[in-house]
Amino acid sequence: KQEVTQIPAALSVPEGENLVLNCSFTDSAIYNLQWFRQDPGKGLTSLLLIQSSQREQTSGRLNASLDKSSGRSTLYIAASQPGDSATYLCAVEYTDKLIFGTGTRLQVFP
Amino acid sequence: EPEVTQTPSHQVTQMGQEVILRCVPISNHLYFYWYRQILGQKVEFLVSFYNNEISEKSEIFDDQFSVERPDGSNFTLKIRSTKLEDSAMYFCASSVERSGELFFGEGSRLTVL
């Protein structure tokens, strides 16, 4: 069964810390992996897309890595800010569908 | 910046009623999707749509569900006879290419009483 797991489920840190969010998936036959941000009651905002042939992607303070063979991805957030507070979702694509993890709820306090 | 738009933002309906949720994908996108999120649970895939036909659907997407692209801009999800367990946030998404970056709308919250 294709499953995606994210740890930790929740994280509360002071502003300025560097963070690592983890994602693991059971079936390594993926097309790509995408990280999203979800604010309460809102839609999903795409952060980074890593194709299966890639090892990492960077956008600003965000860096995502992919180790397809071990079924893992990490999202690194540098110098966290209160505006980064949200739920971060990892999603893996298999044949025209995304399988989502349960998310990591991040709170960054001033 | 182009975005996926969804209407209505919130709909309340009685069990057994038909509901149509509407989406306007980003204009040059070719691949369209519906996902849903029951409160407190994971986002779940419902259906993908390309070239005027369903390319993939989940077990959730049974005979009570249908999708349509009635014109060049709208993409709709119809639930024929709603059940209490259909209460969820329904998200529309689109991408310009297969396995490309997915862009989501803000969602339509469906409450079935």
Q: Using one digit for the tens of pLDDT, what is the confidence trace for B47-61?
A: 999 989 999 999 999
Q: Is A82 helix (H, G, I), strand (E, B) or coil?
A: helix
Contacts with A98 from chain B: Cβ below 8 Å: 33, 35, 43, 45, 102
Q: Quick one: pLDDT at residue A2?
A: 87
The residue of B10, B42, B98 whose CB has the most chain A CBs within 10 angstroms, and thus the best one to mutate to test that interface, is B42
Comparing CA positions, the residue from B59, B1, B37, B29 lying closest to residue A91 is B37
CA distance B45 to chain A (A): 6
Query: Which has the higher per-residue pLDDT, B98 or B67?
Result: B67
Structure-block tokens of residue A27:
């079936």
Side-chain half-sphere CA neighbours of A1 within 13 A: 3
B78-109 confidence digits (pLDDT tens):
999 999 999 999 999 999 988 889 999 999 99
Q: Are A15 and A108 in contact (CB under 8 A)?
A: yes
Mean local confidence (pLDDT), B2-12? 94
Say whether residue A94 is in contact with chain B using an 8 A CB cutoff: no
DSSP 8-state assignment for residue A42:
S
Contacts with B98 from chain A: Cβ below 8 Å: 96
Mean local confidence (pLDDT), A75-101? 95
Please name every residue paired with B75 in a beta bridge, in sequence order, or none if there are none.
B23
Please name every residue paired with A67 in a beta bridge, in sequence order, or none if there are none.
A72
CA-derived radius of gyration, chain B: 13
* Cross-chain Cβ contact B103/A34 below 8 Å: no
* Cross-chain Cβ contact B106/A101 below 8 Å: no
CA-derived radius of gyration, chain A: 13
Q: Write the CA distances from B58 to A28, A99, A101, integer angstroms.
A: 20, 11, 16
Q: Quick one: pLDDT at residue B1?
A: 74
CA distance A9 to chain B (A): 12
* Cross-chain Cβ contact A42/B106 below 8 Å: yes
Say whether residue A42 is in contact with chain B using an 8 A CB cutoff: yes
Comparing CA positions, the residue from B104, B107, B113 lying closest to residue B25 is B104
* Cross-chain Cβ contact A43/B104 below 8 Å: yes
Comparing CA positions, the residue from A5, A106, A10, A24 lying closest to residue A65 is A24
